[in-house]
Amino acid sequence: MFSIRVEAEFAAAHFLSHYYGKCESLHGHNYRVRLWVRGNDLDEGGMLADFGVLKQALRDVIAGLDHTNLNDIPAFNNDPSAERIALFVFKNLEDLLSRRGIDPAKLRAVDVFETPVNMARYERS
């Protein structure tokens, strides 16, 4: 089984409506997002998937999040947790990868880091 990973970053503001503590106030993060692809079969060039295609797909998905208030995006239901961001990116990548010639079933996980040591992951079960 092969696994590959690409990552990209974006900056955004948010607050958590159903959290009581300092994160209930508007604040920002420099998010790091990692995309994981996994599979058994390599193409004729010996690759699981093209790093460039994966990286551009990830950048395209997170471009709509960059320098925004994430609470303004309806998909986050006014609580843009790292978990919900990971799910959002995963679901949008499935569609985008399919349109770019990569089997979306290879998409295994998306990690969203709010800080260098705190992250949430959404992964295919």
Residue 27 is among the residues annotated as catalytic for this protein: no
- Describe the strand order of the beta sheet including 118-123 as a list of residue ranges: 2-14, 27-39, 107-115, 118-123
Structure tokens at 75: 């998909």
Residue 29 is among the residues annotated as catalytic for this protein: no
Distance of alpha carbon 77 from alpha carbon 62, whole angstroms: 18
Residue 82 in contact with residue 99, Cβ under 8 Å?
no
Residue 7 is among the residues annotated as catalytic for this protein: no
Among 9, 23, 24, 123, the one annotated catalytic: 23
Write the CA distances from 86 to 21, 36, 109, 123, integer angstroms: 22, 12, 9, 9
Q: Tokens 């320098």 belong to which residue?
A: 67
Among 9, 24, 67, 123, the one annotated catalytic: 67
Q: Which sequence positions are flagged as catalytic?
A: 23, 67, 114
